[in-house]
Amino acid sequence: MTKLQEAFTGENTFIGFTVAGDPSIEKSVEYVVAMANAGADVVELGIPFSDPVADGPVIQAADLRAFAAGITTDKIFEMVATIRQQTDVPLVFLSYANKIFDYGYDRFYQRCEELDVSGTVIPDLPVEERDELVPIAQKHGVAVIPLVAPTSGERVAKIVSGSQGFIYLVSSLGVTGMRDNVANDLTTTIEKIKAVTDTPVAVGFGIHTPEQVKQMNQIADGAIVGSGIVKLIEEQPNNATDAITKYVQEMKGLAQVK
């Protein structure tokens, strides 16, 4: 069992997301550590990109703030090195394919291995193109986490074949962002996934309340929350630690929701 899979062995598994370098490298480190200390089972770090096609306006704005603060891929790895001095929480990068290609596949995944980054989520990497990247990631012990969408249909088995870490199940069509209603027809897709793999399934896109996290944990193995956390940073860019701590504790069921 990998470090990522071990993160799914408890109850109410929660994956928190933030954009690396938003609003600054120093604060980004602080907020990742705050999520870990508050009980996040996994932290997903977004690598800012100029054209994040899967992301809604909240995360797009965070990407721009990170760019304005001078973030680069090398600085993100330096940031992770600082995080690793304070927590061993499982870390996953969310990156668009061009960022990894530009950095160099082997160089990128070697740095992931050195800094104990467990996986990468690549929203714009179709299953037909992943063979050029997956063997390199696996050589360095890093999972390439597949995304399954509500429209994946008969492609589910192919998409999750050979999966490691966890499977990212997109809860609804469209881009990331907070939604009042999360699709309630995910069970069929989860059954299709479970029929062909034992890899844990985490549901993301739109989830932002403790009730939704609990609901996703009842039908899947975990829940991913991104825009809800990023919005807290947008509202209090340099003073969001307490708000993030409280929010994550609420998502984990460790604090009362007021």
Taking residue 135's Cβ as centre, other Cβ atoms within 10 Å add up to: 11
Q: In the annotation, is 55 catalytic?
A: yes
Q: How far apart are CA 212 and CA 189, in angstroms?
A: 18
Burial per residue of 57-80, b for 16 or more beta-carbon CB atoms within 10 angstroms, e otherwise? ebbbbbbebbbebebebebbbebb
* Residue owning tokens 């609003």: 23
H-only helix segments in 90-240: 97-103, 105-114, 134-139, 156-160, 186-194, 210-219, 227-235
Q: In the annotation, is 44 catalytic?
A: yes
DSSP state of 165: S
Q: How far apart are CA 137 and CA 212, in angstroms?
A: 32
Catalytic residue among 30, 41, 55, 221: 55
3-state secondary structure of 12: coil
Catalytic residue among 44, 63, 221, 250: 44
Catalytic residues: 44, 55
